[in-house]
């Protein structure tokens, strides 16, 4: 998803080109932050960012609406099934903990990518499971996203204690520079942060930083509206039940279906007990965004890598034999390789119908 930045809080480009990083919505450049005159903090309606955030609804319990005036505010646009958003969380949690009593307020703006992420109950459950203690807005209609002219997940806006947007970035990385900017803004506001150590921050498990050097596979959507590189013979049978066959060969970054599936614009739904997805990828990690069938019963799934059980290369949501269980609508890590990263074929098969498969992402 791309948003024009002609309106909103940012009137000029803040950053120069940097390293490439994959966003949940698209491939984009993650660029270094700049602080200062490149930012304009007025919208056409003359409503500043703090006014806009304070008027926004709904704030998700248990944190509720925070007090923002006079504080340095870091706004993070995210969505809970996005691996890029998840890998930013260790830094956001750490900054909130380090500087929360020094005048910093972190605010999450949850702007959903997929339909199930519009459900506030599911978002609240995800916030609790992820250990997020700072306040979050639910931005289902993208009102806050549009007002900020945000471009992707994760997006970051740095607002000083006078309510002026001082910097923006989209994408992962540059966290050391971001923390230095936060310290500068807090110091400007009269807070002494000299006693707060600049300890390293390292994500664990699914939140660990991507292996960028070996990441050679892009995000792939499984609904036909944005799907690419689909390899099953005959292509998609749109919006209808169809029995798919696997491709005879699967080159790098192509994928296929086998068994009974109904493919809609946003996701593919399994129609039997043998529905499977294969993807030929080159990355340390592989993740699927999956939705559980109606009725709430868990669904077992099985993952293989190059036709064999993953063993030590299983993900956080699978065991060494490749078994996992689908209970919630969320992102599932099914592979984390520990040896040399080469081209591999991952296959996931579902034991029951009704599973919704949205996308495949890598790290």
The model's confidence at residue 294, banded by pLDDT at 50, 70 and 90, is confident
Is the model's pLDDT at 283 over the cut of 80? yes
- The helix (H) or strand (E) run that includes residue 146 is helix 143-147
Is the model's pLDDT at 85 over the cut of 60? yes
Crossing angle of helices 175-188 and 83-99, rounded to 10°: 30
The model's confidence at residue 320, banded by pLDDT at 50, 70 and 90, is very high
pLDDT tens, residue by residue, 228-266: 999 999 999 999 999 999 999 999 999 999 999 999 999
Strands 155-159 and 72-78: antiparallel
Is the model's pLDDT at 194 over the cut of 90? yes
User: Buried (b) or exposed (e) across 152-167, using 16+ Cβ within 10 A?
Assistant: bbbbbbbbbbebbbbb
Is the model's pLDDT at 37 over the cut of 90? no
Could you tell me which of 232, 213, 320, 226 has the C-alpha nearest to residue 276?
232
Is the model's pLDDT at 28 over the cut of 70? no
Give the model's pLDDT for residue 191.
98
Give the model's pLDDT for residue 34.
47
Strands 356-362 and 268-270: antiparallel
> Which domains can be identified in the chain, with CATH numbers?
20-207 (3.40.30.10), 212-362 (2.60.120.260)
Could you tell me which of 158, 148, 136, 145 has the C-alpha nearest to residue 48?
148
3-state SS of the chain is CCCCCCCCCCCCCCCCCCCEEECCCCEEECCCCCCCCCCCCCCCCCCCHHHHHHHCCCECCCCCCCCCCCCEEEEEEECCCCHHHHHHHHHHHHHHHHHHHHCEEEEEEECCCCHHHHCHHHHHHHHHHCCCCCCEEECCCCHHHHHCCCCCCCEEEEECCCCCEEEEEECCCCHHHHHHHHHHHHHHCCCCCCCCCCCCCCCCHHHCCCCHHHCCCCCEECCCCCCCCECCCCCCCECCEEEECCCCCCCCCCEEEEEEEEECCCCEEECCCCCEEEEEECCCEEEEEEECCCCCCCEEEEEEECCECCHHHECCCCCCCCEEEECCCEEEEEEECCCCCCCEEEEEEECCCCCEEEEEEEC
The model's confidence at residue 296, banded by pLDDT at 50, 70 and 90, is confident
Tokens linked to 218? 């892009």
Tokens linked to 194? 């000299």
Is the model's pLDDT at 5 over the cut of 50? no
Which spans in 59-102 are helix H? Answer: 83-99
As a whole number, mean pLDDT of residues 126-154 equals 96
As a whole number, mean pLDDT of residues 301-328 equals 98
Is the model's pLDDT at 11 over the cut of 60? no
Sort 212 into a burial class: Cβ within 10 Å, 0-12 / 13-18 / 19+. Answer: middle
Query: Mean pLDDT over all residues of the chain?
Result: 89
Q: What CA–CA distances, in Å, run from 327 to 63, 69, 116, 173, 303?
A: 26, 40, 13, 31, 16
Give the model's pLDDT for residue 42.
34
């Amino acid at each position: 998803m791309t948003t024009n930045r002609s309106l909103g809080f940012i009137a000029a480009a803040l950053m120069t080109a940097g390293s490439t990083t994959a966003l949940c919505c698209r491939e984009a450049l993650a660029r270094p932050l700049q602080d200062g005159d490149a930012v304009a903090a007025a919208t056409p309606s003359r409503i500043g960012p703090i006014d806009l955030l304070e008027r926004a609804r709904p704030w998700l319990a248990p944190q509720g609406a925070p007090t923002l005036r006079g504080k340095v505010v870091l706004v993070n646009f995210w969505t809970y099934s996005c691996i890029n958003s998840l890998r930013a969380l260790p830094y956001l949690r750490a900054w909130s903990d380090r500087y929360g009593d020094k005048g910093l307020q972190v605010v999450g703006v949850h702007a959903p990518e997929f339909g199930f992420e519009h459900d506030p109950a599911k978002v609240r459950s995800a916030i609790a499971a992820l250990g997020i203690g700072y306040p979050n807005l639910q931005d289902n209609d993208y009102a806050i996203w549009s007002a900020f002219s945000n471009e992707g997940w994760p997006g970051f806006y740095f607002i000083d204690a006078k309510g002026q947007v001082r910097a923006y970035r989209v994408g992962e990385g540059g966290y050391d520079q971001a923390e230095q900017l936060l310290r500068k803004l807090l110091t400007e506001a009269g807070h002494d942060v000299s006693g707060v150590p600049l300890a390293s921050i390292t994500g664990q498990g699914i939140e660990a930083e991507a292996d960028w050097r070996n990441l050679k596979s892009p995000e792939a959507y499984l609904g036909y509206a944005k799907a690419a590189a689909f390899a099953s013979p005959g292509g998609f049978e749109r919006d209808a039940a169809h029995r798919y066959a696997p491709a005879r060969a699967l080159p790098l970054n192509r994928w296929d279906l086998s068994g009974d599936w109904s493919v809609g614009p946003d996701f593919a739904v399994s129609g039997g007990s043998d529905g499977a997805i294969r993807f030929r990828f080159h990355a340390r990690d592989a993740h699927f965004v999956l939705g559980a069938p109606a009725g709430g019963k868990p669904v077992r799934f099985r993952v293989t890598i190059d036709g064999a059980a993953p063993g030590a290369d299983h993900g956080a949501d699978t065991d060494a034999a490749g078994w996992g269980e689908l209970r919630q609508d969320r992102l599932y890590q099914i592979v984390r390789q520990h040896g040399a990263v080469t081209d591999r074929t991952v296959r996931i098969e579902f034991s029951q119908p009704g599973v919704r498969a949205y996308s495949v992402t890598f790290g």
